[in-house]
């Protein structure tokens, strides 16, 4: 049997006749299974040209082809009218044109393992559709590994619709006949003994591609293998040229360079005594500062326990309507002021002058005009906000005028200091919230939260509505 200038071997011709018979009378999807080089394309080409009474379409599926391209290649061979939509499934399109077809249809696809699962489903459905009174025949060619992977994925009903047909290997006489036929067509006569050719053919698995490869070897000989040096000669020459250029540039540029060559610094090992000594030297100022800070913190804590007012901030006298914070009063200053007060109390008071008498009279008038508020009772529980601690009475009066709208403002005397307290709160959280509002509204420095139980040494003073204090 010959087709398109090719001659089939007896086993191949018998297989083509079997495929033709199955495609004409069977209702199953025909799948031709063969390894690479086993002659699948040759057999499918012969099958497509053998159908004289049918309208056949032969498609070799390329790699990375989309579904629309495969449908287009099939339909242009089957449908006379070029008007169709390749985005619609094959079954829907062929059903639309089936009434106009006079011959049965046979669709042959080589390398069908490159088709998508969607097109495989369309081919299975298309195999059950009839056209011109007969079922549409579909023949696909795939490798054995693909079919072994596909069949377990299909349900039992679809698995029965697939009929695999395997390509048997060529017998030894057929291999020799194929070798001699191809040799005669080549118009060459290489000096190769027949026994050697036969021995080489016996070692093969029986695919036509192996016979063709053996003939190529006999006609042209074994190709010379390029050495590694030949393959990478250009790359090695280029790399050597660049390396030589860099060396020359460094040799010419470095002697004229005015930049000093950096010295190589070698550091000692991490676990060496030199490295540990160097680390101690670097960290010595840090540990010294840390020890001093700790000492100061301990001293401050001891001073706070001895004198609760050690951390209080004093205020300098300011103009009316402004409240400032005086420099902090340390322990030495506090003790100095106490000594001065004791000395002043020990000395006899000087005789009052005329101006002092007038001031006394004025104070008496004010006292008569504005009665003092009753002495505040010190709460035993809760918290208070300590607004300021000052040594000047005028500063306290200015602060009281500024806070005249704030309820529960109390003034206490502790030694030579005046202390301004605000409110009585059940917990420290509410006291802190109220302190934040006072700081925001009156622009005060950050006040302190004190327990009333800790203020036993504070002497509450009487205050008038005008902000004056009477002892």
Q: Dihedral through CA 249, CA 252, CA 255, CA 259, nearest 10?
A: -40
User: What does the pLDDT read at residue 165?
Assistant: 93
How far, in Å, CA of 238 to CA of 244, rounded? 10
Which of helix, strand or coil describes residue 123? helix
Question: Is residue 160 within 8 Å of residue 145, measured between CB atoms?
Answer: no
CATH number listed for the domain at residues 309-336+372-471: 3.30.70
User: What does the pLDDT read at residue 142?
Assistant: 94
| Contacts of residue 226, Cβ cutoff 8 Å, sequence gap at least 6 | none
| Contacts of residue 83, Cβ cutoff 8 Å, sequence gap at least 6 | none
User: What does the pLDDT read at residue 327?
Assistant: 40
Residue ranges, CATH 3.30.70, the chain:
309-336+372-471
Residue ranges, CATH 3.40.50.300, the chain:
2-166
User: How, if at all, do strands 417-425 and 383-390 pair?
Assistant: antiparallel
| Contacts of residue 38, Cβ cutoff 8 Å, sequence gap at least 6 | 167, 169, 207, 208, 209
Half-sphere exposure of 28 (CA within 13 A, CB side): 17
How far, in Å, CA of 270 to CA of 310, rounded? 48
H helices of 117-189, in order, are: 117-126, 144-150, 156-159, 172-185
Low-confidence ranges of the chain (pLDDT < 70): 1-6, 51-52, 81-83, 222-231, 253-265, 267-268, 303-376, 464-471
Q: Classify burial at 364, counting beta carbons within 10 Å of its beta carbon; exposed 0-12, middle 13-18, buried 19 or more.
A: exposed
Q: Which fold has domain 2-166?
A: Rossmann fold (3.40.50)
User: What does the pLDDT read at residue 112?
Assistant: 92
Q: What is the pLDDT of residues 214-253, one digit of tens each?
A: 888 878 776 555 566 666 777 888 888 888 888 887 777 6
Which of helix, strand or coil describes residue 187? coil
Query: H or E stretch including 413?
Result: strand 409-414
Which of helix, strand or coil describes residue 122? helix
Find, among 103, 15, 21, 92, the residue nearest to 57 by Cα: 103
User: What does the pLDDT read at residue 134?
Assistant: 84
User: What does the pLDDT read at residue 163?
Assistant: 92
Half-sphere exposure of 178 (CA within 13 A, CB side): 25
| Cα end-to-end distance, the chain, whole Å | 137
User: What does the pLDDT read at residue 360?
Assistant: 41
Specify the pTM.
0.47
């Amino acid at each position: 049997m010959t087709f398109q200038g090719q001659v089939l071997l007896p086993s191949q011709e018998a297989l083509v006749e079997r495929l033709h018979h199955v495609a004409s009378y069977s209702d199953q999807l025909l799948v031709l299974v063969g390894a690479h080089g086993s002659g699948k394309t040759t057999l499918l080409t012969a099958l497509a040209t053998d159908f004289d009474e049918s309208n056949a379409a032969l498609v070799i599926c390329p790699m990375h082809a989309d579904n629309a391209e495969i449908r287009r290649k099939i339909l242009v061979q089957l449908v006379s009218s070029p008007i169709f939509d390749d985005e619609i499934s094959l079954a829907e399109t062929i059903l639309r044109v089936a009434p106009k077809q006079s011959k049965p249809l046979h669709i042959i696809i080589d390398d069908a393992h490159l088709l998508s699962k969607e097109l495989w489903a369309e081919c299975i459905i298309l195999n059950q559709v009839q056209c011109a009174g007969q079922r549409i025949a579909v023949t696909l060619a795939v490798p054995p590994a693909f079919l072994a992977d596909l069949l377990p994925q299909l349900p039992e009903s679809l698995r029965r619709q697939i009929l695999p047909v395997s390509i048997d290997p060529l017998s030894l006489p057929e291999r020799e006949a194929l070798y001699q036929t191809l040799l005669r067509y080549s118009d060459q006569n290489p000096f190769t003994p027949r026994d050697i050719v036969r021995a080489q053919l016996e070692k093969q698995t029986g695919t036509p591609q192996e016979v063709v490869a053996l003939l190529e070897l006999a006609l042209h000989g074994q190709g010379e293998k390029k050495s590694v040096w030949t393959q990478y000669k250009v790359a090695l020459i280029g790399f050597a040229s660049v390396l030589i250029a860099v060396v020359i540039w460094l040799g010419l540029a470095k002697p004229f360079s005015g930049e000093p060559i950096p010295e190589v610094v070698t550091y000692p090992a991490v676990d060496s005594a030199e490295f540990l000594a160097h680390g101690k030297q670097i960290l010595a100022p840090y540990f010294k500062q840390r020890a001093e800070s700790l000492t100061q913190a301990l001293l401050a804590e001891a001073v706070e326990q001895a004198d609760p007012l050690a951390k209080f901030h004093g205020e300098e006298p300011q103009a009316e309507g402004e409240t400032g914070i005086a420099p902090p009063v340390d322990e030495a200053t506090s003790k100095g002021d106490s000594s001065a007060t004791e000395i002043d109390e020990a000395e006899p008071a000087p005789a009052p002058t005329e101006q002092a008498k007038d001031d006394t009279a004025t104070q008496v008038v004010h006292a008569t005009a504005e009665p003092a508020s009753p002495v505040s009772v010190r709460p035993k529980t809760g918290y208070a906000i300590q607004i300021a601690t000052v040594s000047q009475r005028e500063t306290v009066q200015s602060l009281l005028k500024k806070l005249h709208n704030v309820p529960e403002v109390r003034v206490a005397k502790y030694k030579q200091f005046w202390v301004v307290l605000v409110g009585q709160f059940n917990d420290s959280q509410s006291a802190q919230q109220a302190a934040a509002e006072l700081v925001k509204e009156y622009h005060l420095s950050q006040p302190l939260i004190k327990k009333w139980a800790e203020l036993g040494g504070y002497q509450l003073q009487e205050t008038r509505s005008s902000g004056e204090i009477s002892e």
